[in-house]
């Protein structure tokens, strides 16, 4: 199926640093979702975005729905070791409930 372009593929940062990752698509999406997946676990929903331009925070996480409706970014401020994991963006096109997933960003935080 269609894939979103998610970048970067991996990041290695020091504890306390801020992190930014993004997803772009050739299609217009009506919904953007950001998930985190720990090894051997299912993805956990972090933030859901429903309107172009929407900026939503969840603790140290902030995500935005791009104005063009073809992109979204996720920022993590003041990273901590438990932020380690794989972050996936997911988008929903204009019809149906099917989600398209990005390829993931592997985040490593060094204490």
Partner 1 sequence: GAVVSQHPSRVICKSGTSVKIECRSLDFQATTMFWYRQFPKQSLMLMATSNEGSKATYEQGVEKDKFLINHASLTLSTLTVTSAHPEDSSFYICSAKSGTGKSYEQYFGPGTRLTVT
What does the binding site for partner 1 look like in residue numbers (CB under 8 A)? 1, 3, 30-31, 33, 35, 40-45, 48, 50, 88, 90, 92, 97-99, 101-104
Sheet (strand 71-76) strand order: 5-7, 19-24, 71-76, 61-65, 55-58
Q: Which is nearer to partner 1, 13 or 48 (CB)?
A: 48
Best CA proximity match to 22, nearest among 81, 66, 84: 66
Instruction: Residue 45: count other Cβ atoms within 10 Å of its Cβ.
Output: 11
- Residue 16 Cβ vs partner 1, minimum distance, rounded to whole Å: 27
Compare residues 77 and 100 and give the one whose CB is closer to partner 1: 100
CB nearer to partner 1: give 77 or 106.
106
């Amino acid at each position: 199926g269609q894939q979103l372009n998610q970048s970067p593929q991996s990041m290695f940062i020091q504890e306390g640093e801020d992190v930014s990752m993004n997803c772009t698509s050739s299609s217009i999406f009506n919904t953007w979702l950001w998930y985190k997946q720990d090894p051997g676990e299912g993805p956990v929903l972090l933030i859901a975005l429903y309107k172009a331009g929407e900026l939503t925070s969840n603790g140290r996480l902030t995500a935005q729905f791009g104005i063009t409706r073809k992109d979204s970014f996720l920022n993590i401020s003041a990273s901590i070791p438990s932020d380690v994991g794989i972050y996936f963006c997911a988008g929903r096109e204009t019809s149906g409930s099917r989600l398209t997933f990005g390829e993931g960003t592997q985040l490593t935080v060094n204490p």
